[in-house]
Chain A
Amino acid sequence: MSAPEPVIHVRGLTRTFQLKSGPVHAVRGIDLTVVRGEILGFLGPNGAGKTTTLRMLTTLLPPSGGRAEIAGRDLLRDPVEVRRRIGYVAQSGGLDPACGVREELVTQGRLHRLTKAEARERAEELARDLGLLDLMDRPTAALSGGQRRRLEIALGLVNRPEVLFLDEPTTGLDPGSRAELWDLVRRVRAEHGATVVLTTHYLDEADALSDRIVVVDSGRIVAEGTPADLKTRFAGGPAASLQDAFLAITGRSTADEPIAI
């Protein structure tokens, strides 16, 4: 590859919520460029503005200010075209517990305007690829945590997105399922050619998975670089832990959650 092609281009993105107690500046001006094929980790403590940023970039929340171009389309002027080209897996997942696995996949295909036959074919293809084939007729409530996440990611891949957004994809998973999911994210990039933007507050996850990390705190980007780069710049050397770098950047520990292995 020659010059890396930007697939996300964000300038001055802000979001302010008007509450009775006064305005809350959740996102205070984010500039971001992500190149095609990159896995970008959005790292930050709870309440840093990660989810709000993701909800804006996925067209769910109108920004208060700034602009963004995603997969070559303007976020504000052309949200439908952006939606055609992205996948989004929310923290809550978005599965109907009573709905069957196949039905979820086929419906998602139909919502992306595939014909019935195409939607069924795409459902089979994704199920085969993500190890869901034996679960197709089960209600999603009967899936394990790891299986649910795989299905949710399959739903996000139905339209062969250029960018896949994952909001805290491994929160609540056991260590085995987390490792599996990391492999899956790498495969999504390698085999589906998607750019992946994921949020996490697990330092080891950001370290293991991301080509580049963006650290957000109080609605701003406070540091940006490869994991090794951040360790060198903020914690004294590449052998240091990302935890030390994170502490140096934000002046506090990540979250209450223990850092899973």
Chain B
Amino acid sequence: MTLLTDTGTIFGRYLRATLRSKTSLVFGMLQPLLFLALFGPLLTGLDLGVSGSSWQTLVPGVLVQLTLLGGSFVGLGLLVDRSLGVIDRMRVTPVHPMALLLGRTLRDVVQLVAQSVLLVLLGLLLGLRAPLPGVLIGLVFVAVLAGALSALSYGLAMNVRSTPEFAAVANTVGMPLMLLSGLLLPMNLAPGWLNGVSLAIPLRYAVDAMREVFQGHYLNGTVAAGAAATAVLAAACLFGGTRLFQRGHA
């Protein structure tokens, strides 16, 4: 399986690059970390209209926020590589073209799951109590979402002319997605129209499902809907990202 070997080679190269730049690892999770530490305590005394503690509501939201922000901006790294000629250099080898995308995406999945584990640990310090199987299922959601968003981000990065263009698209899509998914506060607090709009956003189902599993509820309609929405989103993003990646010319 040359695709697997090639993906492993690319994955290894970019994982080592990530481990070399420890600052970017920390900066990548700074924003979710701050939300957890400085926003989380505000919620502890509020009625969020959901069962479970406020931490069981906020931590899953912050994990999806990390994945959304971290995943959608990975394309910036690809843009740098494109401008340095690294992508072209690799494309003039027999390497499987898909491996150039999948190896990087796999690296992002590993990185975002590792960062998520750190966020959960910080949550524990702050007062989160959640069953281990629930946390692990939550991390599976993170992994699948991370892969989906990262593949799409690379697809976009292969098709834009400049970094500002990429940032404009990623921000314009990312911000409304973040707000409409109810990541920081659950959407059942929202007025009817806003709640209605958010029902069109797949990430909303993912985060609702993660909140359920963090409370130890594994077999219900919310979890099933979340898993289905996440799977469909992942399939669509991987397909779209792959097509865009192969269409783009560095």
Q: Point out residues on A near B: beta carbons under 8 Å.
A: 58-61, 80, 83-84, 86-88, 90-99, 103, 107-108, 110-113, 155, 159
Contact = CB atoms under 8 A, between A and B. Distances in A.
A103 B9 CA distance: 11
A59 B81 CA distance: 19
Contacts, number: 68
Given A93-B84, A94-B85, A103-B13, A113 B2 contact: yes
Contact of A60 (B9, B21, B249): B249
Given A92-B85, A112-B94, 11 more contacts: A87-B92, A90-B89, A91-B85, A92-B88, A94-B84, A94-B86, A98-B17, A108-B89, A112-B93, A113-B94, A159-B93
27 contacts: A59-B92, A60-B249, A61-B249, A83-B92, A84-B94, A87-B92, A88-B88, A90-B88, A90-B89, A92-B83, A92-B88, A94-B85, A94-B86, A94-B88, A94-B90, A96-B84, A99-B13, A108-B89, A111-B6, A111-B9, A111-B90, A111-B93, A111-B94, A112-B94, A113-B2, A113-B5, A155-B89
Contacts of A83: 92-94
Given A61-B249, A107-B9, A95 B92 contact: no
A65 B249 CA distance: 18
A138 to B, nearest CB: 13
A214 to B, nearest CB: 21
Give the dominant DSSP class at A's interface. Answer: loop
Nearest to A91: B85
A93 B85 contact: yes
B85 A90 contact: yes
Nearest to A59: B92
Contacts of B94: 80, 83-84, 111-113
